[in-house]
Structure 1
Amino acid sequence: MIKRSTLRAQIASALRDEILAGRLPAGSQFTVKEIAEQYGVSATPVREALVDLAAQGLLDVEQHRGFGVHRFTIDDYRSMVRARMVVLDGLFHSYFEEDGPVPVIALEDSVLASVRRRAEAAVRAARAGDLDVLIGYDLRYWRELGEVIGNSYICDFLDRLRVQCWVYSVPCLRTEPEVAKRLWAGHRELVDAVEREDATATRQIVGGYHRHALSLAEKSLKDGP
């Protein structure tokens, strides 16, 4: 028998994936009853899952009408990218200059090999223009890399920002005729730089990551809705 807390997490995860993929676009509205019927479950875990997603900034609670998928603006996106930039830059600064990097052998024994597998898969998906596959690997990649260089509280914050950034950017990227050319694929190079403890290269790659994200905002503003 599936525990209610597990069911709650499964429903929240499934709906988050639908939002990330753009299958539940911004402005979509639904009720607890509709989602419960869709998944064939009771209302309680659905309500809890929807509240969780609202707390993550992905849903809006609409009085007397249920829930709606939050609509992020271009200004929201810019602010999220800049917040991500400040926190991530600070995280790498602390890793290389304050705390000192974790020895490479220790990283290889713990999570670095897993991060590298995520990186390889993310790069393949980006070069193939496969957004659905890329999103999943990209989120896991950054989460695991963050655990190497930071702490769980910062990782949670950055993960939330990345999910929200993807929610905004996916509809824009879906309209690209050559989407592979618009996707960042520096995952492998970043892992290599961290592994060899190259702070300068790491900062350059992360800086390119930030500039790439902001360029998507400028293109979406130029192209219009």
Structure 2
Amino acid sequence: MSVHGAGDTRPVIHRNSLREQIAGALREEMMAGRLAAGRNFTVKEVAEMYGVSATPAREALVDLGAQGLLRTEHHRGFTVPELCWDDFLEIFESRVLITDSFHRQFATGRALPDLSRLEPLRRRADAAVRASRAGNLDVMVGCDRRFWQEVAALLGNRRIGEYLDWLRVQSWMFAARYLRELPSLAGVCWDGHPDLVDAIEAGDLVGAHRIICAYNLATVRMLAERAGRPLESVTVLGLLVEQVDGPEQAPPTAPPESGPEPQAPQPEFQSESQPGSPPEPGRSGRRSRAGDELGRELGRELGLGLGLVPQPRTVPYGRFGRRLPESPPEAPRGRPGPHRTPGR
């Protein structure tokens, strides 16, 4: 059995860095949907396909498995994972929140993008636009990925750039099956790459952030329509719409009815600067239990935690799901405790 079809062309693999070359070729095969979700293959098949020995082929497959891009099947080789809509939401929301945090960091002036990389970025943008307008998915995934790798390099944080690239690979793996169902991809995918480069070159960081948000908004709208999913399930949708359309596009709120002016909210805790002042009626120095419950319910509904980072949907048992054993109560002084043998 061969991983490719009869008429597919095999990518040229050079003898240097065989493991990285094979892993990169397989990664783009999955991004373009040529290796579809659920496809199973063995080390021998990959080695024969690229004309190499089993050792670099096995190392490449193990690397992809460690990245979560392949699933290891006992005695059956490796399988391309099937990503569902919930998986895509976690990937998409993580990507949006990271790029938004970098925009806020650049806005403070404490960190600015590295503008010395604009020339290769513009070349990547031109190649990505040509592939997008031609509708060639096999070429588009590689050009788009390399363009966003250059954009991430401007951030000056290698680990963040690698993490964003890992998220983008999985985004393409999810989107490829829906894009391949379309009769033509010409004009379907985003082609605003040169506009983003122009904004970065002009130092318009606000405009660059708006372009990225427009790209993310167009992506999630298209995939939600193709997957038959509601946009309301995207928790960062309001953030994207506000950045693209502006806060003035938000629906107006109804004016308050005439009546007594609302009073300012009272502090939740009693001030420590006035230790002698009595607490207010019906209020203690402890936090409101109803407020705590409301905050927990709101956090569960939004799926967000501290720092607006999406929380994992499952908690592994044995790490956080098991309560720690309680320590025995301390015995009063002067008498031996229940866990202590009295001396003779």
- Structures share a fold, TM > 0.5? yes
2:205 counterpart residue number: 199
What is the CA–CA distance in structure 2 between the aligned matches of 1:39 and 1:113, rounded to whole Å?
A: 33
My pick for the range that moved more, 130-139 or 110-119, is 130-139
Partner secondary structure for residue 106 of structure 2: helix
1:19 counterpart residue number: 30
Q: Which has the higher contact order (CA 8 A, sep 6+)?
A: 1
Partner secondary structure for residue 146 of structure 2: helix
| Equivalent pair of 1:78/1:217 in contact (CA under 8 Å) | no
1:115 counterpart residue number: 121
Measured after TM superposition, the shift of residue 98 of structure 1 is 4.2
Are positions 1:134 and 2:145 aligned together?
A: no
| Equivalent pair of 1:78/1:214 in contact (CA under 8 Å) | no
What is the CA–CA distance in structure 2 between the aligned matches of 1:132 and 1:41, rounded to whole Å?
A: 23
| Equivalent pair of 2:135/2:185 in contact (CA under 8 Å) | yes
Output one character per residue of 1:10-44: Cα deviation in whole Å (capped at 9) or x when no partner: 21122112212222111011111222233332222
**Seq. identity, %:** 46
Equivalent of 2:178, from 172, 178, 187? 172
Give the number of equivalent residue pairs: 216
Higher helix proportion (structure 1 or 2): 1
1:154 counterpart residue number: 160
What is the CA–CA distance in structure 1 between the aligned matches of 2:110 and 2:37, rounded to whole Å?
A: 41
What is the CA–CA distance in structure 2 between the aligned matches of 1:203 and 1:122, rounded to whole Å?
A: 19
Are positions 1:210 and 2:216 aligned together?
A: yes
What is the CA–CA distance in structure 2 between the aligned matches of 1:220 and 1:120, rounded to whole Å?
A: 27
| Equivalent pair of 2:155/2:161 in contact (CA under 8 Å) | no
| Equivalent pair of 1:101/1:197 in contact (CA under 8 Å) | no
The residue type equivalent to 1:45 in the other structure is P
What is the CA–CA distance in structure 1 between the aligned matches of 2:15 and 2:129, rounded to whole Å?
A: 36
- Which consecutive residues of structure 1, in runs of 5 or more, have no partner in the other structure? none
What is the CA–CA distance in structure 2 between the aligned matches of 1:127 and 1:155, rounded to whole Å?
A: 26
Measured after TM superposition, the shift of residue 169 of structure 1 is 0.6
Output one character per residue of 1:184-216: Cα deviation in whole Å (capped at 9) or x when no partner: 111111111111111221221111111112113
| Equivalent pair of 1:95/1:150 in contact (CA under 8 Å) | no
| Equivalent pair of 2:178/2:227 in contact (CA under 8 Å) | no
- Which consecutive residues of structure 2, in runs of 5 or more, have no partner in the other structure? 1-13, 230-344
The residue type equivalent to 1:13 in the other structure is G
Residues 150, 94 of structure 1: alpha-carbon distance in 2 compared, 3 angstrom cutoff: farther
Partner secondary structure for residue 228 of structure 2: helix
2:76 counterpart residue number: 65
1:220 counterpart residue number: 226
The residue type equivalent to 1:119 in the other structure is A
RMSD of equivalent CA atoms: 1.9
Partner secondary structure for residue 27 of structure 1: coil
What is the CA–CA distance in structure 2 between the aligned matches of 1:100 and 1:154, rounded to whole Å?
A: 15
Partner secondary structure for residue 67 of structure 1: strand
The residue type equivalent to 1:90 in the other structure is S
| Equivalent pair of 2:179/2:185 in contact (CA under 8 Å) | yes
The residue type equivalent to 2:162 in the other structure is D
The residue type equivalent to 2:74 in the other structure is Q
* Pairing 1:47-86 to 2, within 5 Å after superposition: 47-86=58-97
1:40 counterpart residue number: 51
| Equivalent pair of 1:74/1:217 in contact (CA under 8 Å) | no
| Equivalent pair of 2:106/2:112 in contact (CA under 8 Å) | yes
Output one character per residue of 1:145-200: Cα deviation in whole Å (capped at 9) or x when no partner: 11112311100000011111011111211112342232011111111111111122
Partner secondary structure for residue 27 of structure 2: helix
